[in-house]
Structure 1
């Protein structure tokens, strides 16, 4: 990954006192309490060769979890007045209102968990996750980066038996309060004009890579890989270098935006692009990468 933006110019900064577990802050994002919005991770070996990020909605699961939780509502629908409160760029705030409405209608934690556990995996995804789980421990460091929320993501991963694979989960915090309401909070703030106000995935990707580079003594990963589908997955993919790999789901917004950038600004999108319709195609490419 010698040509990646994450390696050639990195100089480790000494951690501030008492802050050795927090990611270095990018210029885009003000300081935020990552511990409050990041699932705890086990100790990670510093010798991982490849760092691979996954989106969740319509990448790991073949649905949008925020949409599917409505199945737990009375009549499996939301009232028009609530739907009409959505404003572009403020989806996290809209979902806070949706979750408050579900609580008012008596929807319980177990009912929501049941909906999440039934979400279907995208084609071939379970094969891909199993492939990663069976690789030697030094090969892949796996991170989930999602604009869903911690309760939805953790519910599905644990039911699928996939939670141990992920070293870190970066998503919006969500916890049940004493009244049984799922309280959703924004992950952080930032000033990226492309992304919703609660999350810029490029900022989080850069923060994570910077922190891990420090923990690895400045030693880079061979490559950074990104598997996604949505418009908000395009933003982090633009930070990848020419040896890194973007895996956009074929004909989804991430794929279309990459194609548009290639056409409008040739050479600006630097990562190798490997579209996929079934995640077995990602497995095939990973096998080639490992063999290089």
Structure 2
């Protein structure tokens, strides 16, 4: 399925939790984080919380070990592997951060299945401390989207992803997500694309509130097992469509008569297919 690009959100889509909250709760800093959120954006608060955790003596290893215990189910893992084996290109578009995502994917040996991870930068600085930065530096300029948080507009990113495939032939996109920030990229998809919102989560509620806003076809899912069934069924549907289009192309070829001379004479015309 070289013509199918599957884009996964990460938190509550690939893993069954919010990775930021998981680390903060696991390392005992929930109260401090809740206080920070009253005065600043989420992404800024996460960066300050990493500084706070380090000041309390927590190490990179402590943060990594916490991430490795984040819940991810066998069906989530087999979904990724099956979609990849069927020839789909997989990407992650997440408002988490690169350090958190890569730590979890490496732990479960899933890094190699994704062609690209698009998220907020997360890196260990020269002092051995984890720093989290915004994808869009809103201290310099605003991305201008009132649907998305200041640090990341997934809609703008989705437009860039789609534009990057214009010269690579026809592509169909499947987007899986759960949160409010996943709504904007879904609005950028076409009638030939698909959205898989997690049922009874913010993305699903936003779609249900205005069912005509999206052009893409919607297929809901509830849990890891359900996600696997729905996605693989969609991929199979797209495989059938591709096969039918190829078959129709073969049988819709025009015929053109060609005269074949034999020993100075001509025989009856033979029909040779000439494709469009």
> Where on the TM-score scale, by shorter chain, does this alignment land: which range?
0.7 to 0.9
1:179, CA displacement in angstroms? 2.1
1:167 aligns with 2:115: yes
User: Counterpart of 1:15?
Assistant: none
Q: Which structure has more RCO (C-alpha within 8 Å, separation ≥ 6)?
A: 1
1:86 aligns with 2:6: no
Pairing 1:149-164 to 2, within 5 Å after superposition: 149-164=97-112
Q: 1:272 aligns with which of 189, 210, 217?
A: 217
Q: 1:260 aligns with which of 193, 209, 214?
A: 209
1:285, CA displacement in angstroms? 2.2
Pairing 1:119-268 to 2, within 5 Å after superposition: 119-122=70-73, 124-135=75-86, 139-189=87-137, 190-214=143-167, 216=168, 219-221=169-171, 223-262=172-211, 267-268=212-213
CA contact (8 A) 1:59 1:122 kept: no
The TM-score normalised by the length of structure 1 is 0.75
Deviations 1:249-277 (A, max 9, x none): 11111111001011xxxx33111000011
1:53 aligns with 2:31: no
Counterpart Cα distance in 1 of 2:71 and 2:35 = 28
1:283, CA displacement in angstroms? 1.7
* Shift in alpha-carbon separation, 1:255–1:97, aligned structure 2, 3 A: same
Which structure shows the bigger proportion of residues in strand conformation?
Answer: 2
Q: Pairwise CA RMSD of aligned residues?
A: 1.8
Number of residue equivalences: 232
Pairing 1:65-104 to 2, within 5 Å after superposition: 65-73=19-27, 76-80=28-32, 82-87=33-38, 90-104=41-55
Partner SS, residue 148 of structure 2: coil
The TM-score normalised by the length of structure 2 is 0.79
Which structure shows the bigger proportion of residues in helix conformation?
Answer: 2
* Shift in alpha-carbon separation, 1:120–1:173, aligned structure 2, 3 A: same
Counterpart Cα distance in 2 of 1:271 and 1:108 = 44
CA contact (8 A) 2:207 2:213 kept: no
1:89, CA displacement in angstroms? 7.6
Counterpart Cα distance in 1 of 2:220 and 2:48 = 35
Partner SS, residue 84 of structure 1: helix
The runs of 5 or more residues in structure 1 that have no matched partner are 1-46
Q: Return the index of the structure with the highest Cα Rg.
A: 2
Counterpart Cα distance in 2 of 1:52 and 1:87 = 35
Counterpart Cα distance in 2 of 1:89 and 1:144 = 26
